[in-house]
A and B are shown apart, each in its own frame.
Chain A
Amino acid sequence: MSTSRSTPNARRLRWTPWLFAAPGLLLLTLFMAVPFGMAAVLSFTDQRLLTHAALPTEIVGWDNYLRLWEDDSFWAALGNNLRFVGVVVPLQTALALGLALLVNRKLRGSHLFRTVYFMPVATTMSVVAVIWSLMYSPDQGVINRLIGVLSFGSIGPQDWLRDPALVMPAVMLLSIWQGVGFQMLVFLAGLQAIPVDLYEAATLEGARPWQQFRWITLPLLRNTTIFVVVTTTIYAFQLFTQVQIIASSGAAAPVDSFRTLVMLMVHEGLRNGSIGYASALSVVFFGIVLAISMIQRLIIREEGGAA
């Protein structure tokens, strides 16, 4: 824009984008920035869920953070979160891509498969978790029966939700089953945006299917993949519903073998009423998720530079 333009017009142009952004910014401030700021402030106090007239809220400095450092439940929860993210993100992304490739084929009934794979996404997670916890049952559960049949009876029934070594894998399996349809849909959209003539040209040049996948599909799906990986990571960190339902449906595995950070926050804040401590947890949690997202971005950018 040249400086010779009339000033009122320029001023209007300068303000217009802010005007358009205002509703969104206002909501973001109100529901994201302010609560987070409050959590940061509360994490330095001994705020209780229900305030008590004889016990005014006091500043406790770094006490909540020091307690967190010494709290083995926190470290266990962090470990569970990292293990979950570490397994679920790559596995779910790869599986989603595989499913998308399958249902993208021009075959009769591929629409049916798309619907079937997407159905779990449309089901509420709490319903999924309750049904799967029945399927994992050691005596009547369908999963143990299936394993028994597939292994010709050599693997006996496992107590999936009470065995500290099996409870996390069990949660991972049901989470992937529930969530993979959504990523599949995103990949499918990405696949259908790739021009068909690229493949036709490649076929004429004699490229085999694997070569086409490696040198056409994957590079052109790059942005889609970045989106899927980043969102899946963030969703995976927020793991709560499944584990909370497992914790409250019958005796469970030792809590620390599957409790996640979000669940710990709820337990500390809502059950025990220590909002100050729960706030400290949420600040640390935010820091960790932020750091991991930044690292992901950094790695992806480097690859982008090399490509």
Chain B
Amino acid sequence: MSRSAHRSRSALRLSRLALVAAALLGSVGTACAQTVVSMWVHAGAGPEAKAYSEAVAAFNQSHKDVRIDLVRLPEGSYNDQVNAAALAHKLPCLLDFDGPNVYNYAWTQKIIALDGFPELKRIAETEMLPSLRRQGTYNQQIYSLGQFDSGLALWGQRKWLKKIGARIPTQVGEAWTLAEFEDVLRKLKAAGVAFPLDMKLNYGMGEWFTYGFSPIVQSLGGDLIDRQSLKTAQGSLNGPEAVKALSLLQGWARSGWINPATRDDSDFIQGRSALSYVGHWVHADYRKALGDDLVLIPMPKFGTRAVTGAGSWNFGISADCKAPREAAAVLAHLMSPEEIGRVTQANGAIPGTRTALARNRNYSAGGPLAIYAEQIQQGVALVRPATPAYPVITTAFSEAVNNVLAGSDPKKELDRAARRIDQAIKDNKGYPALR
């Protein structure tokens, strides 16, 4: 999921420093016989980036024979860089990528199946959350392991919600209906909140639009693609349910309830918005700014049932890797409860293994983030479709969302997105599996 551009830029500077440091270290490292495992991560928010540096330092300190060479790349063009590196057969050993890309990477054999590594297979089968196992599985094999799952819901400011007399749901079962949700937005606007709902439109056209807004489509009964066959988007992406979903979004923009010109992450913190529709990754910043006034509200039931996104960035081992066994050892290290604890402490995500989840007090009953865990455990969370067509799907859908927010006709835009997805599926002959 994308984050603000300025972070990516400062992260670029950091990653350049990291490159220089890596080059210097590399020349030293060749003196002693160490296996170097190159590793790429996307440069996320500050605390998350720091967690990865610390994880790598911890590994390097406790292992004499293997050394991780960490490179952080800016998130905005991360996928393009991975594609370019794959084309040149220069992928690092270990890399992270946004969840739903795993099927395309597995299909094009950029990454290898992890079933051959006993320690990883054990983690995947006995420890990892079922949602992450579903996300990492393609063709009945496990291809990626995730340290954490994502949570998508609403952050609210208690004082504003109390002021307008809104009911504040505290469990998944109590989620707002569409009518209640819109009523809250209307009242907040009337009470003087400039743009009641912050939807992180500053992230721009990209994965966030699909991750964040396809649950609205799914809640109303549509989907990105026909989930059964995975062969066509016609009917699911441009049916009346999906059209209604994007029409709702457009309506909120027209009513001034959301701000299409959102420039940065500050709307919610600075009180221009009273609700923030976003994932777990803002938790630390929001908590710091708002303290006890911050409340987590479950995903509303826009249609017949509540649906929220699931899956997040996860790790795979590339087919170009010269030392896959060492890379697997690094990955196992990253999947240890301690490392998962470290990164989820930093980004507020749902710990990806049972042990790590049980250790995290934020997610135990009554904890501030318990709703995220509930959403995953009660079947509200839906992983993105498991097809190699996903990169095309997300490009087409996020473009449609962008255009609809700018005023285009939802039906026309979704028809076009469905046509493009079907064209790509046809171009690739239905993405035949390799035998």
Chain A residues in contact with chain B, CB under 8 A?
46, 48-50, 52-55, 72, 130, 134, 137-140, 159, 161-162, 164, 247-256, 267, 270-274
Q: A residues within 8 A CB of B407?
A: 164, 254
- Report the minimum CB–CB distance from B416 to chain A (whole Å): 8
Please determine whether A255 and B80 come into contact, CB atoms closer than 8 angstroms: no
Q: B residues within 8 A CB of A250?
A: 201-204, 261-263
Q: How far is the CA of A271 from the CA of B201 in the complex (A)?
A: 21
Q: What sequence of 0s and 1s flags, for each residue 423-435 of chain B, a beta carbon within 8 Å of any chain A beta carbon?
A: 0100111001111
Considering only residues 1-58 of chain B, those with a C-beta below 8 Å from chain A are: 5
Please determine whether A55 and B429 come into contact, CB atoms closer than 8 angstroms: yes
Secondary structure at chain A's binding surface: helix, strand, loop or mixed?
A: loop
Q: B residues within 8 A CB of A254?
A: 402-403, 406-408
Give the nearest-CB partner of B76 in chain A: A248
Known: A50-B83, A271-B395, A273-B391. A251 touches B5 (CB 8 A): no
**Beyond A255-B403, A270-B80, A272-B391, 20 extra complex contacts between A and B, CB < 8 Å:** A53-B109, A54-B432, A55-B429, A134-B263, A138-B261, A140-B263, A162-B406, A248-B5, A248-B206, A249-B204, A250-B202, A250-B261, A250-B263, A251-B201, A253-B406, A254-B407, A254-B408, A271-B80, A271-B391, A273-B391
Known: A52-B107, A254-B406, A254-B407. A162 touches B260 (CB 8 A): yes
Q: A residues within 8 A CB of B110?
A: 50
Known: A54-B432, A250-B202, A270-B80. A164 touches B406 (CB 8 A): yes
Known: A137-B261, A139-B261. A54 touches B406 (CB 8 A): no
Q: Is B399 an interface residue (CB 8 A)?
A: yes
Please determine whether A53 and B261 come into contact, CB atoms closer than 8 angstroms: no
Known: A253-B406, A254-B407, A267-B395. A162 touches B261 (CB 8 A): yes
Q: For chains A and B in complex, what number of residue pairs have CB atoms within 8 angstroms?
A: 97
Q: A residues within 8 A CB of B399?
A: 255
Give the nearest-CB partner of B399 in chain A: A255
Give the nearest-CB partner of B80 in chain A: A270
Q: A residues within 8 A CB of B405?
A: 251
Known: A254-B406, A271-B391. A55 touches B263 (CB 8 A): no
Please determine whether B406 and A251 come into contact, CB atoms closer than 8 angstroms: yes
Known: A250-B261, A270-B80, A272-B391. A50 touches B108 (CB 8 A): yes
Please determine whether B261 and A251 come into contact, CB atoms closer than 8 angstroms: yes
Q: B residues within 8 A CB of A247?
A: 204-205
Q: How far is the CA of A252 from the CA of B404 in the complex (A)?
A: 10
Please determine whether A251 and B395 come into contact, CB atoms closer than 8 angstroms: no
Give the nearest-CB partner of A271 in chain B: B395
Which of these, B86, B87, B402, B427, contacts A251 with CB under 8 Å?
B402
Q: Is B161 an interface residue (CB 8 A)?
A: no
- Report the minimum CB–CB distance from A242 to chain B (whole Å): 14
Q: Is B392 an interface residue (CB 8 A)?
A: yes
Give the nearest-CB partner of B428 in chain A: A55
Which of these, A49, A130, A255, A270, contacts B5 with CB under 8 Å?
A130
Q: What sequence of 0s and 1s flags, for each residue 84-99 of chain B, a beta carbon within 8 Å of any chain A beta carbon?
A: 0011000000000000
Please determine whether A252 and B429 come into contact, CB atoms closer than 8 angstroms: no
Sample of 14 A–B contacts (CB below 8 Å): A50-B87, A50-B110, A52-B109, A55-B432, A72-B416, A137-B261, A164-B407, A250-B201, A252-B205, A255-B399, A271-B395, A273-B392, A274-B424, A274-B427
Q: B residues within 8 A CB of A139?
A: 261, 263
Which of these, A130, A159, A252, contacts B402 with CB under 8 Å?
A252
Q: A residues within 8 A CB of B109?
A: 52-53
Interface centre among B260, B405, B406, B432 (most CB of A within 10 A): B406
Q: How far is the CA of A127 from the CA of B67 in the complex (A)?
A: 36
Please determine whether B429 and A251 come into contact, CB atoms closer than 8 angstroms: no
Q: A residues within 8 A CB of B403?
A: 254-256
Q: How far is the CA of A274 from the CA of B206 in the complex (A)?
A: 19
Q: B residues within 8 A CB of A50?
A: 83, 86-87, 108, 110
- Report the minimum CB–CB distance from A69 to chain B (whole Å): 14
Q: A residues within 8 A CB of B262?
A: 250-251
Q: How far is the CA of A249 from the CA of B433 in the complex (A)?
A: 37
Known: A164-B406, A251-B402. A49 touches B205 (CB 8 A): no
Q: How far is the CA of A251 from the CA of B424 in the complex (A)?
A: 25
**A-B pairs with lowest CB-CB distance, top 10:** A254-B403, A251-B201, A50-B108, A250-B202, A54-B432, A138-B261, A254-B406, A248-B204, A254-B408, A251-B260
